Amino acid sequence: MRSIAKLISLIIMLAAAAVVVALAIANRDPVTLSLDPLPRSLELPLYLHLIGAMAVGFLWGCLATWVSNGKTRLRAREGIFRADKAEREAKALREKVERLEAAAEQRQRDQAPALPAADAA
C-alpha cells in the first residue's frame, strides 16, 4: 500500500516538474516587475516571476494552515499534559495500594494467634 502511495506521489511530482519545465521554456523573455510604491523593480524571466509567486503563495498557505491549527496543537499539548498527570497519579496510587496491602499483611501476621506449644508429658 505504501509503495503505491510513493508511486502516485512520484508520478504527480514528475508531472509538476514537466509543467514547470514547459513553463520555463515557453516564458524565457525578461519581464519587468514594478514594486509600486517602492522605488524598486525586478527584471527577470517571466517563469521566475511565476515560480516566485507560486512559492510565496505556498509559504502563505503553510503559514495560514499553521496558524489555523494552533488551537488543535494547544489541545494536543494539554491532552499530553493531562495524560502524564494521570499516569503520575496512577503510579502514586499503585504505590499507596502496595504499601497498604503490605501493612495489612503485617497486621494480620502480628494479630494471628500464636499456636500453643506442645507439652511434653
Average pLDDT over residues 62-91: 95
Distance CA 111, CA 107 (A): 6
Average predicted confidence (pLDDT) for the chain:
89
> Which triple of cell numbers denotes residue 29?
523573455
* % of residues, the chain, pLDDT over 90: 53
The residue with greater pLDDT, 96 or 111, is: 96
Concatenating the DSSP letter of every residue in 49-83 gives HHHHHHHHHHHHHHHHHHHHTHHHHHHHHHHHHHH
Average pLDDT over residues 79-104: 96
Q: In this model, does residue 80 exceed pLDDT 80? A: yes
Q: In this model, does residue 20 exceed pLDDT 90? A: no
Model's pTM, two decimal places? 0.55
Distance CA 31, CA 51 (A): 13
Distance CA 52, CA 74 (A): 33
Q: Which pLDDT belongs to residue 40?
A: 87
pLDDT digits (tens, 9 = 90+) for 28-60: 889 998 888 888 888 999 888 888 898 999 999
Give the three-state DSSP class for 45.
strand
